[in-house]
Amino acid sequence: MRASLRTTAAAAATALALLLTGCAGTDDGRDASGRIELSFQSLAWQKESVDANKQLVKEWNEAHPDIHVSYVQGSWDTVHDQLLTSFEGDEAPDIIHDASDDLADFAYSGYLADLRGLLPGRLTADIPRQSWSTTTFGEGVYGVPFLQEPRVLIANTKILTESGVRVPTPDEPWSWDEFRQVTKELTGKGRYGVAWPLKEPVSVTLNLGLSGGGRLFHRGADGKVTIRAGEGDQVVPGTIHDQVDTDHSASRTALGMGGSDTLPGFFGGKYAMVPLGFSYRQQVVEQAPEGFEWTVLPAPAGSAGLAQGVSPQTLSVAEASPHKKEAAQFIDFMLRPPNMVRLAKGDWMLPTGTAALADPSLHTAENGWATGVAVAKALRPAPAQSVRGYPEWKDKVATPALQEYYSGAIGAQELRKRLVDDGNRVLARYQR
């Protein structure tokens, strides 16, 4: 998941441009002494994460005097446009931190190096195939997926305990029907059972929709993608719609909020639960009033169990880099199991690597780490992971349609028509 507290995006982008100007070195990527110079653009933004990344870069440089890596600070807010500009201007960093759902156009345009043959067997074997599929476009692999973030329910422990509702676990989660019923039971006396922060509703809807058997995007034998809405695709949006518009167990005003915007109301007892990305736990720890008790619960399960889509954070190598082999060696160093654990803890996320995910420090009940690890085995590639034209469909079709549906302005039939009919017209332009 991409970060939500990015108040210094403009400053970061300016600093990035200045830094990249000096990253190129000589034409062959070496300094005057012959030392290989690599630039690593990181999108880490939380202090713990920035510190972990910078410390690993320092450790690399101390152990590899002939291959120097410069740390460059990027921003999630501006990364796509900034990378596109740097690729076109032949000033891209050698090692690129991004998210898998942002890689497709760069990969198909030839801006990213195919990592097959560059990565050691240890790393390729450690990360599950389903994670690798998020960075595979055509026949090539264009990024190493290393951090992933499930969506979980962060709940007020006192409200749950006093209500007497069954508390779910990863082994015995709520169904979507039970979740709807529970939110009704938790609603009353000025309190909502749940707040859905859906300022950006598309990824939440699609990714959680996998649990109900939804898919929406279907790739044919000819490689072309079409949109079809089946019964499973209605489970999650139908539940949210009914909570807001029928049961009134979900806050209508929260629909226009980002995740962080719901936290004051959550701490104040206005919402019993909030579905949030796993990394929001850090904000809860830092911002919750003294004595506030909270817990992490798995998202509801459907016909496909706890399955949900994710777009992992990735490390890639620029095709234009003159030292791809050395860049891949640096990635291998960054993603050794102990280091992957450090990066995951810094971002309050989960590692993709099986060795890192087995680290005992991630299996503690404190702050919900163990719940996240238990959910990790059900994570799947986000449905629109490799769909060309998805950004336009999301911005011009799906976002306004879902916002209107959740607010009650349109019904399920109109939603389906717009997502499918209007959506297929958009995708067709990208698949001729």
Q: What is the CATH number of the domain that holds 122?
A: 3.40.190.10
The per-residue pLDDT for 138 is 87
Verify that 424 and 287 share a domain, yes or no: yes
Over residues 352-369, the mean pLDDT reads 97
Q: How confident is the model at residue 24 (pLDDT cuts 50, 70, 90)?
A: very low
Question: Per-residue pLDDT for 20 more than 90?
Answer: no
d(CA 51, CA 324): 25
DSSP H or E stretch at residue 153 = strand 151-156
Verify that 98 and 223 share a domain, yes or no: no
Verify that 175 and 272 share a domain, yes or no: yes
The per-residue pLDDT for 46 is 86
Over residues 338-344, the mean pLDDT reads 98
Q: How confident is the model at residue 384 (pLDDT cuts 50, 70, 90)?
A: confident
User: What are the structure tokens assigned to 133, written together?
Assistant: 């599929």
Residue percentage of the chain with pLDDT more than 70? 93
Q: Does residue 3 fall inside a structural domain?
A: no
Question: Per-residue pLDDT for 18 more than 70?
Answer: no
Verify that 231 and 96 share a domain, yes or no: no
**Number of continuous H segments (helices) and E segments (strands) in the chain:** 20, 15
Q: How confident is the model at residue 23 (pLDDT cuts 50, 70, 90)?
A: very low
Quote the mean pLDDT of the chain: 92
d(CA 179, CA 379): 20
Tell me which residue has tokens 């449905």: 383
**Radius of gyration of the CA atoms of the chain, in A:** 22
The domain total for the chain is 2
Verify that 376 and 392 share a domain, yes or no: no
Over residues 9-18, the mean pLDDT reads 44
Over residues 231-237, the mean pLDDT reads 97
d(CA 326, CA 268): 51
The per-residue pLDDT for 14 is 41
d(CA 111, CA 329): 19
Q: How confident is the model at residue 25 (pLDDT cuts 50, 70, 90)?
A: very low
Over residues 382-387, the mean pLDDT reads 84
Q: How many CA atoms lie within 13 A of 116 on its CB side?
A: 9
Q: Does residue 363 fall inside a structural domain?
A: yes
Nearest Cα neighbor of 335 from 143, 70, 50 is 143
Query: Which residue segment(s) compose the domain that 81 sits in?
Result: 9-149+311-381
Verify that 130 and 164 share a domain, yes or no: no
Residue percentage of the chain with pLDDT more than 90? 85
Over residues 303-312, the mean pLDDT reads 96
Question: Per-residue pLDDT for 146 more than 60?
Answer: yes
Identify the residue with better confidence: 223 or 129: 129
The per-residue pLDDT for 2 is 45
Q: Does residue 304 fall inside a structural domain?
A: no
Identify the residue with better confidence: 188 or 12: 188
User: What are the structure tokens assigned to 28, written together?
Assistant: 């062959």
Verify that 286 and 323 share a domain, yes or no: no
Verify that 160 and 126 share a domain, yes or no: no
Verify that 162 and 143 share a domain, yes or no: no
The per-residue pLDDT for 103 is 93
Q: List the single range of 218-232, 277-291, 350-364 with lowest mean pLDDT.
A: 218-232
User: What are the structure tokens assigned to 79, written together?
Assistant: 């990364």
Nearest Cα neighbor of 295 from 241, 369, 387 is 369
Q: Does residue 420 fall inside a structural domain?
A: yes
Question: Per-residue pLDDT for 49 more than 80?
Answer: yes
Verify that 141 and 235 share a domain, yes or no: no
Verify that 121 and 256 share a domain, yes or no: no
Q: Does residue 2 fall inside a structural domain?
A: no
The per-residue pLDDT for 27 is 60
**Boundary (domain end) residue, out of 362, 381, 400:** 381
Q: Does residue 44 fall inside a structural domain?
A: yes
Over residues 108-136, the mean pLDDT reads 96
Please name the residue ranges forming H helices in 195-322: 201-209, 235-245, 263-267, 281-287
Q: Does residue 4 fall inside a structural domain?
A: no
Verify that 398 and 265 share a domain, yes or no: yes
Q: Does residue 306 fall inside a structural domain?
A: no
